[in-house]
Chain A
Amino acid sequence: MQTEFVIFVFLALATLIGAASVALSRNIFWSAMGLLSSLVGVGGLYVLLSADFVAVTQVLVYIGGVLVLIIFAVMLTSHIEDINVSNRSLGLVGGYAVFFVTATLLCFVAIWAPWKLTDQAPVTETTAAIGNGLLGTWLLPFEIASVVLVATLVGAIVIARKEVKAD
């Protein structure tokens, strides 16, 4: 149990330091690296919660897909040393105010709310259970998600391609 807690502290530090550098780093490329650290940390936390399938999906989809896309966008659009930190309409002070209010409120709720804990043991063969669930109980949302993915594919291509004039 002690090693589990030590691992938890390491993963939590990786997650939160990465998230902080996403929000605060002046260099957009370091923000992308912070996002990498944060996503890896959350994946590790999924393993601690005995959700191994979700952890592997996190690595495949987020780190292998979304993060690579974001780094492509960083490289293609802005100069890496670009400094544009603060949003003038709200300012850094307003941003910190939003951060402290939401974070303290959510932490307060998380610690003091009387959650009804279950003593059920975690499912160990999650891949089999999730596969059965996706083709059984959650079949309709699964199919709707596939339609959404096709629409996204078409939409992203339509938006990103060059406009072809008729003549």
Chain B
Amino acid sequence: MAHLTLNHFLVIGALLFGFGMLAVVTRRNAVAVLMGIELILNAANLNLVAFGRYVAGGISGQVFSLFVIVLAAAEAAVGLAIILTLYQMSRNIDASQATTLKQ
């Protein structure tokens, strides 16, 4: 077992994805839901880089994961702007209470 293979990284990615799903599904705090989404994107990135290293070869997996990182940063910026606006409107970031789009 002292030799790193693709399976090691895929299992870490799978568990990371599972914890991200758990955070998205069970948390009510909108910031924590956003953290869960970041975990899921990280799991996907880890899989992309691992497949690029062990299956595809070359750098295509790494370039793909760079694009995912860019989109994750954009998503975090817009998501946190929405959360801050929600908090200013209702003093509350409980995701299950946010049922209206306007005041």
Interface residue tally for chain B (C-beta within 8 Å)? 74
A 135-167 to B, binary, CB cutoff 8 A, 1 in contact else 0: 000100100010011001101110110000000
A88 / chain B contacts, CB cutoff of 8 Å? 28, 96
A10 in contact (CB, < 8 A): no
B82 / chain A contacts, CB cutoff of 8 Å? 159
Nearest chain A CB to B26's CB is how many angstroms away?
Answer: 4
Interface residue tally for chain A (C-beta within 8 Å)? 89
B26 and A57 contacting across the interface, CB-CB below 8 Å: no
Nearest chain A CB to B60's CB is how many angstroms away?
Answer: 8
A117 and B6 contacting across the interface, CB-CB below 8 Å: yes
Q: Is the interface of B mostly helix, strand, loop or mixed?
A: helix
A110 and B19 contacting across the interface, CB-CB below 8 Å: no
B2 and A1 contacting across the interface, CB-CB below 8 Å: yes
Which of B15, B29, B35, B52 contacts A78 (CB under 8 A)?
Answer: B29
A160 and B49 contacting across the interface, CB-CB below 8 Å: no
A5 and B36 contacting across the interface, CB-CB below 8 Å: no
Docked complex Cα distance between A116 and B54 (Å): 9
Nearest chain A CB to B86's CB is how many angstroms away?
Answer: 9
B55 / chain A contacts, CB cutoff of 8 Å? 115-118
Nearest chain B CB to A152's CB is how many angstroms away?
Answer: 4
- A85-B28, A92-B26, A126-B62 known; A38-B42 Cβ under 8 A: yes
Docked complex Cα distance between A126 and B2 (Å): 26
B84 and A15 contacting across the interface, CB-CB below 8 Å: no
Top 8 A-B residue pairs of the complex, sorted by shortest distance between their CB atoms: A103-B18, A110-B10, A106-B14, A95-B26, A120-B57, A19-B19, A152-B74, A160-B81
A-B contact pairs, 8 of them (CB 8 A): A77-B83, A85-B27, A85-B28, A110-B7, A115-B54, A115-B55, A133-B60, A145-B67
